[in-house]
Amino acid sequence: MYTNLVNAMEFLNENANGFAGILWHQGESDKGTSEQDYYDRLSALIERTRTDSGNENLFWGVAIVSADANGNTYSNVTNAQLRVIADDPLVVEGVNTDEFSRDLRGQNSGNSIHLSEAGLKEAGRLWALTAGKSIIELRNCYWYANATDSTDISNWEINGESKKGVKLVSGANLSVEADNSIQMVDAGTVEVGANYNLTLSGDITGSGEMIKIGKGTLTLSGDNLSAYTGKTTISDGTLKLAADATLNDLSGGSEVKADDPGSVYNPVNLVSEGDLTFNSNSGSDTKFIGKIDAAGKTVTKTGSGTLKIFSDENNVSTASNFIVDVGRLDFKGYFKGGMELNSGAVLSPGNSIGTLTIDGTELPSEVSALTLHSMATLLMEIAGPEPEDNDMLIVLGNLTIEDGAMINLIMADGSVLAPYDTFEAIIILNKYMFSAIRI
């Protein structure tokens, strides 16, 4: 029997551009088989088909079936089937024919074990629903979409303790219909390969962390992208937001570290087609390395935690207006647009010593490139007598500093400035130019 299966797999691979998977309906004759033996045999069979088909990610659907000619069912068989489904991330639960009535299992088939004509039709209908079922639980695994697959998911739930998520291979396309939801239950990994695109268009809820990996683009296009409270991590590639969104404790990318020879500079991309809020929770200190593209939109930093952004000359971040409403923003690199600090907010150029350029040359003439409202703080770190030893802020455009705004100089090593040093360090010129800041 297995030889026939291998021959069928080879034929499909050679003549039909491959096959999506195997639907397995067996168990009626195994009432005398122990649960563990059935589990071991079915698991071994699945692995063998993946080896012989040359597809290590071969999808299986396993039916729940054990009923004998008298309609008796056997938990040793069905428990083993359910264990295989639970333990293998590429196996899903299929049709349960133990629940079929006698007319579906016996009539017109010559016995009460095999399916009748009506039973075959009902099983086929249920298999079709199962193969494209609306709820996919991802248990410590990836769900794989093969070449040219397009799968609709009405409720995508990420659950478990280790790697979970969706992986696109061979140019697959995966989408969630607009009226569906995505629940982040635990930390979930979404991997999208280079040159591929994954669109999830359901609303996102839950407190689990969303981790984007892979060089491809993940697009979130639901109407409500601000309901989930978990962290957002972009480890690689691009995350695109097609509507207003709130991202909590954003982090992403990696940088070369002087004390780590193996570290790699890997900037990532965040694209927003709606207004965007970064919420940094109290006590959190997160870092985003790469490009934020929110051209024509408003970006708002909320939450009492610290968000660090590094956008170099090759990854210029843009927004119509970047409002630091609460907490601290450390920004190193280049930002194009306007920046505004509300009362109590803190802006510090660089990540430790560094330079921030705010380019407001394309803003309307009446709009300032940088505005410090009353009680806002511009925090500058200094480390030596030369300009390159100190934080530098370059504002291309208008600069507005309201009464009560504060410009604080601190020593990078944590030491305290003496009064004479403070007097020499702060030299205010006619356009709010002082020694630690170049306009």
pLDDT score of 284: 72
Mean predicted confidence (pLDDT) in 234-263:
88
Measure the CA–CA gap between 355 and 170, rounded to whole angstroms: 42
Question: Parallel, antiparallel, or unpaired for β 238-241 and 346-349?
Answer: unpaired
Rg, C-alpha atoms of the chain: 29
Residue 292 has pLDDT above 70, yes or no: yes
Measure the CA–CA gap between 408 and 342, rounded to whole angstroms: 16
- Output helix, strand, coil percentages for the chain, rounded to the nearest 5: 20, 40, 40
Residue 196 has pLDDT above 50, yes or no: yes
Tokens for 415, please give them: 């030491």
CB-based contact 347:329 (threshold 8 Å): yes
Residue 331 has pLDDT above 90, yes or no: yes
Tokens for 312, please give them: 């170099």
Mean predicted confidence (pLDDT) in 402-413:
85
Measure the CA–CA gap between 195 and 273, rounded to whole angstroms: 20
| b/e code 300-318 from CB counts within 10 Å (16+ = b) | bbbbebbbbbbbbeebbbb
Measure the CA–CA gap between 13 and 167, rounded to whole angstroms: 22
What backbone phi and psi angles, to 5 degrees, belong to 50? -70, -35
Nearest Cα to 190, choosing from 242, 232, 244? 232
pLDDT score of 180: 53
pLDDT tens per residue, range 361-384: 999 989 999 999 999 999 988 877
Nearest Cα to 248, choosing from 293, 198, 301? 301
Tokens for 170, please give them: 């061979």
pLDDT score of 146: 41
Measure the CA–CA gap between 60 and 392, rounded to whole angstroms: 59
Give burial (CB, 10 Å; 0-12/13-18/19+) of 281.
middle
Q: Range with the lowest mean pLDDT among 209-213, 270-274, 356-360? A: 209-213
**Residues 6 or more apart from 179 whose CB is under 8 A from it?**
202
pLDDT tens per residue, range 69-99: 888 899 999 999 999 988 887 788 889 998 8
pLDDT score of 301: 96
- HSE, side-chain direction, 13 A CA sphere, residue 285: 3
Measure the CA–CA gap between 270 and 84, rounded to whole angstroms: 39
**Residues 6 or more apart from 175 whose CB is under 8 A from it?**
150, 151, 152, 199, 200, 201
Tokens for 150, please give them: 């397009």
Whole-number percent of the chain with pLDDT over 90: 37
Nearest Cα to 267, choosing from 314, 306, 209? 314
pTM of the model: 0.63
pLDDT score of 169: 46
Tokens for 237, please give them: 């590639």
pLDDT tens per residue, range 11-39: 888 876 667 688 899 998 899 999 999 99
pLDDT score of 178: 41
pLDDT score of 144: 43
Helix (H, G, I), strand (E, B) or coil at 85: helix
Tokens for 332, please give them: 């190193």
CB-based contact 235:210 (threshold 8 Å): no
pLDDT score of 105: 76
Whole-number percent of the chain with pLDDT over 70: 77
Kindly report the CA angle at 377 between 374 and 378, in degrees rounded to 5? Answer: 125
Q: Could you give the C-alpha distances from 114 to 42, 97, 122, 149, in angstroms and in order? A: 20, 10, 13, 32
Measure the CA–CA gap between 347 and 364, rounded to whole angstroms: 23
CB-based contact 161:137 (threshold 8 Å): no
pLDDT score of 327: 94
Tokens for 12, please give them: 């499909």
pLDDT score of 320: 95
Mean predicted confidence (pLDDT) in 186-196:
72
Structural domains of the chain ordered from first start: 2-131 (3.40.50.1110), 136-425 (no CATH)
pLDDT score of 174: 52
CA 399 to chain centre: 37
Question: Parallel, antiparallel, or unpaired for β 306-311 and 328-341?
Answer: parallel
CB-based contact 116:139 (threshold 8 Å): no
pLDDT score of 125: 83
